[in-house]
Chain A
Amino acid sequence: MPRDNYQTPLYTPELSRSEFELRQLEELLKLSVGDFKLHALTLSSPDELSVYIARRLMRQLAPSFLWITLHDIDIAHAGAYSLYIDGIQRTDRLCAELWKAIQSEPEYAGKTNLFILPDFGRDSDEDSAGNGFQHHRTGDVLSRTTWMMALGPGIREGVVYDRPLDSMDLAPTLGSILGFSPAVAQGHVIKELL
């Protein structure tokens, strides 16, 4: 059944350490490579580093659109339940930190939406083709169903919408909010978020 590219622990390309890329990073983050490395060593996971970079980018460049992919939870595919739980808790905390960062930056506070969504569902314990929490490969509905949390201006707080949506609906919805036309995107605008 379907397999995604992240589930194998057997392929993790080394981070490029080319001088050129390090200089680019230095320029972008306004942070010396030495300080960056020093800070990276104090962090407990790649996602901590991603969020650190995101916050730095917000402060230095204030992009109007920022996409962050958090991968720590993918340790589930290596089958260690305790590490999976650690990953979930860390991601939850980092999402909250991002939201707090948005509220604390004048460029963002009060005028920024945050969308949080897992990329897949999860196999159920009972599905014979799966192996419990480890994957989302059985192809059953549960493995393909997930949730999305939307926060920020124009979005009603504390409301749960439970009509089925497609993850493809996100791109045209962002297009409507940000005022661009995602010409090649499929899916439909999520009207509850406008």
Chain B
Amino acid sequence: MSIILSVMREDTFWRILLFVHFLLAVGLLAAVTLQAVAVLMPARQMAGNFIDRSPVPAASYTPLIVVLYVFQALMGAWIYVKYRTYVRIPMEELRYFWTVGSFEVKEHVVTMGLGLLPAYWYFWRQPQSAEHAEVRKWVTVFLAFCVWYAFIVGHVANDFRGVGS
């Protein structure tokens, strides 16, 4: 850490970290949204020969979503240290209570999603099994909700004091 801080200013380091967090969040958001849409609105039949490209099967997103979710949670937990001291205190002083409260809810939402990841991964190991089709669908939708909520609230907090604010 001290090596990095000898090369750049502390502010710049945290802003870069926050920006990487944002970029990965966009990737996670795209993957989990595509998968959630695929389970909510599955196509009933093949397109035939009219389209010469196969769509990416929904199950293939699973490892990417698990890895990105865990990585994002860890990265968020790291940035959270800075948020707690540098962002939240002025937020409270300026009476941005809804923003602070929404961020508190974000911590819990992300944690709940984290706990579901082993089951989510297990259900997607056999995407064709009818046994867990319903729960697989709703666990995926719940994860998509967690990612969307975290993304929007994180973005609002960033607008208060973050990259480009």
Are both chains from one complex?
Answer: no
Q: Which residues of B contact A (CB under 8 A)?
A: none
Instruction: Point out residues on A near B: beta carbons under 8 Å.
Output: none
